[in-house]
Amino acid sequence: MAPSGHPHTLVLGGIRSGKSEYAEGLAASAPRVRYLATARDDGSDPAWSARIAAHRDRRPADWASAEVGSAPGDLIDAFAGAVAGETLIVDDLGTWLAGAQELCDGDGAALRLLVDRLADAVAACPATVVLVSPEVGLSLVPATPLGAAFADALGALNRAVAAVCERVVLVVAGQPVDIKPPATGGVAIPRSTEGLADPPARGTVSAVHQTTVPPVPVPGDATDSGAPEEIVPGLTLPRPDDAAAQAVLDRLTSLDLGVGTPANPGLGALADAVAFAAGTRGSPYPRPFLASRVVLVAGGHEGGVAAGYAAEAGRRPAPLTYLAGAAGASLVTLEWENAAAPIETSDAIGPAQLQAALRAGWAEAERAADEGIELLVLAATGAGAATAATAAIAAVTGAEVQPLLARVVTADGYDDESWMRRSAAVRDALHRVRRRDGDPRTVLMALGGSDLAAATGLLLGAASRRTPVMIDGPVGAAAALLARDFSFLSRMWHLLPDHGRHPATKLAADVLGLETFLDLRLDLGEGATALAALPLWQAALTIAGGGAGRTGEAGETDAGDEADDGADAT
């Protein structure tokens, strides 16, 4: 195991297999990426130069790049100088080996020494490492002595590096196959947990990070978090790639999927969801999400906002675990035994509790990104949580609260008495704080509670790590509104597939400019609708990617074909 605790991954594949694109996708959400390019370009071969340029053009602008093809020792030195917390991508070992052979000039012992030094450097590297290499067994047997020597040496190099990597993936026709999964006892990792060092069982609670009011630290050292010491409005967050989002929409207007309509109108409202994925992934060829996680924010609120909750909650079991399993998502719970005091008479939480909860949510987003999670789904449960979130939405938007409160439904029908008690509690709370400023921290302390603050911190932390989040209910909608007031760019990382016709969620969606693409009218708890929508979104991404490289005219190819091959290019 690498000192950092993150797996070192060797990605193998044949020519035009998509191995480089897959390797780059593994690092898409990493905070610091260094791309180590091993190819050399002397300008004598225009086709080779074009392939190298295509690779350079598709790398995110915030990735650092280093040319290490001039001398084989440069790559070994790069591993030795790496630090924990960064991610190195090496593309690829085949061109590195070609340079090493040239340096050794037929000296087999010297070449073996270089290969051994490289493998030892990979094993000792404290950073996360993703290495790309051609698989020699997928092509013709070389007819020349020099070619045969290269194939033999590359086979030995791949074996040596595979031995020190925790994970080895073979990419065939763009499809990754785990041939050495990390820490799984030889059982292949499901696609849904791609990138996890130790994936949780599908559809089960993998961890409960217990907190209380006043909160206690969640598992993991909070000092390791990238969150600011105090989370305040004016945060600087990254922006999704608008050019990639527009590029995929443009591409879909001419993509031929074998039906009598271009892909864009063919996908309908899902085209915008595909564009959202392209923007957040920074690629006009977004693939389906390989690893997703549900973060369930759970906490009970005291006072009138929880009126009728016991009867309401008792009419059905929470279906999140079943839906998470169906969607291939892991599930983590952030739980508070008491998330908020009665808001009709006092503030829900104090300043220390607010910052602790914000940081707990932020840390959970960072933990997910560090484990390779590519998509988060925000879920919520708890007595009074939805009502408190509705109060926060009313405070932020200035809307009358009564039309925003959903009716209370129990096994015996509508409970209008409990609805009136909730309405009175929110009315009194809003009256109590009517002269306070609109700072999102003020709203969270006065009305929201620790669970809503943690949900807000989760959205901010996810945006800081370029991780999209699906939301679908009043808690997620309120958290999105409040996160927007910490940083306007945070709203660009949220997808709302369906507002469930909840009046407060619909209002927040309108204010945030979030367009839905479903109207399922599910009433299975917050987070359930997003999970139900996730497989449909994944299917749209599969369809959009399935026609990549084709246009409406036979014989023409998309420019993406030239960028698809990562073999032997920088």
Query: Quick check: 65 and 37 in contact, CB under 8 A?
Result: yes
What's the CA gap between 68 and 100, in Å, rounded? 12
Signed CA dihedral, 207, 226, 24, 71: sign only: negative
- Sort 22 into a burial class: Cβ within 10 Å, 0-12 / 13-18 / 19+: buried
Phi/psi of residue 231, nearest 5 degrees = -85, 115
Helix, strand, coil % in the chain, rounded to nearest 5: 45, 15, 40
- Say which of 135, 302, 344, 526 is annotated catalytic: 526
Helix (H, G, I), strand (E, B) or coil at 544: helix
Cα distance from N-terminal residue to C-terminal residue, the chain: 27
Signed CA dihedral, 310, 312, 314, 320: sign only: negative
> Is residue 526 annotated as a catalytic residue, yes or no?
yes
**β-pairing verdict for 409-410 and 413-414:** antiparallel
What's the CA gap between 527 and 295, in Å, rounded? 9
What's the CA gap between 64 and 548, in Å, rounded? 28
What's the CA gap between 264 and 543, in Å, rounded? 11
For 421, residues 6+ apart whose C-beta sits below 8 A from its C-beta are: 304, 307, 308
Q: How far is CA 220 from CA 216, 224, 377, 430, in A?
A: 12, 8, 21, 36
What's the CA gap between 132 and 9, in Å, rounded? 9
Query: Quick check: 544 and 253 in contact, CB under 8 A?
Result: no
Query: Quick check: 26 and 281 in contact, CB under 8 A?
Result: no
Query: Quick check: 465 and 31 in contact, CB under 8 A?
Result: yes
Could you tell me which of 406, 418, 395 has the C-alpha nearest to residue 474?
406
What's the CA gap between 92 and 151, in Å, rounded? 15
Residues involved in catalysis: 526
